[in-house]
């Protein structure tokens, strides 16, 4: 319990997200969504990445990118939100 309080307390002192970071967050989200709706790809059962079918490899790679985005987003914006609330 103490550890949680410490971690929450530490985040209140974190710097706010910059305007550039906010822009990156929005653009990153839009790019991920556009890549998810990839209507331009033609289905090809023979296409592979190693032994993985291209369809599965593409989606797993997308999920890795989404996971990285989320990790960065929560680190920057959760901190910013906390400090903004504390500053009100």
**Under rule CB under 8 A, residue 88 binds other proteins:** yes
CA distance linking residue 57 with residue 55, whole number of Å: 6
Cβ atoms of 71 and 28 within 8 Å: the answer is no
Which residues lie closer than 8 Å to 15 by C-beta, 6 or more apart?
79, 80, 83
**Under rule CB under 8 A, residue 27 binds other proteins:** no
**Under rule CB under 8 A, residue 46 binds other proteins:** yes
**Under rule CB under 8 A, residue 24 binds other proteins:** no
Q: Among residues 2, 15, 19, 37, which is the contact residue for other proteins, using CB under 8 A?
A: 37
**Under rule CB under 8 A, residue 22 binds other proteins:** no
Site string for other proteins, 47-76 (x = CB under 8 A): -x--xxx-xx--xx-xx--xx-xxx-xx--
CA distance linking residue 67 with residue 29, whole number of Å: 12
């Amino acid at each position: 319990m103490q550890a949680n309080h410490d971690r929450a307390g530490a985040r209140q002192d974190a710097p706010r997200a910059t305007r550039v970071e906010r822009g990156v967050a929005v653009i990153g989200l839009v790019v991920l969504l556009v890549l998810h709706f990839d209507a331009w790809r033609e289905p090809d059962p023979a296409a592979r990445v190693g032994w993985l079918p291209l369809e599965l490899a593409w989606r797993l790679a997308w999920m890795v990118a989404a996971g990285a985005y989320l990790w960065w987003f929560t680190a920057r914006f959760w901190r910013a939100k906390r400090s903004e609330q504390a500053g009100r």
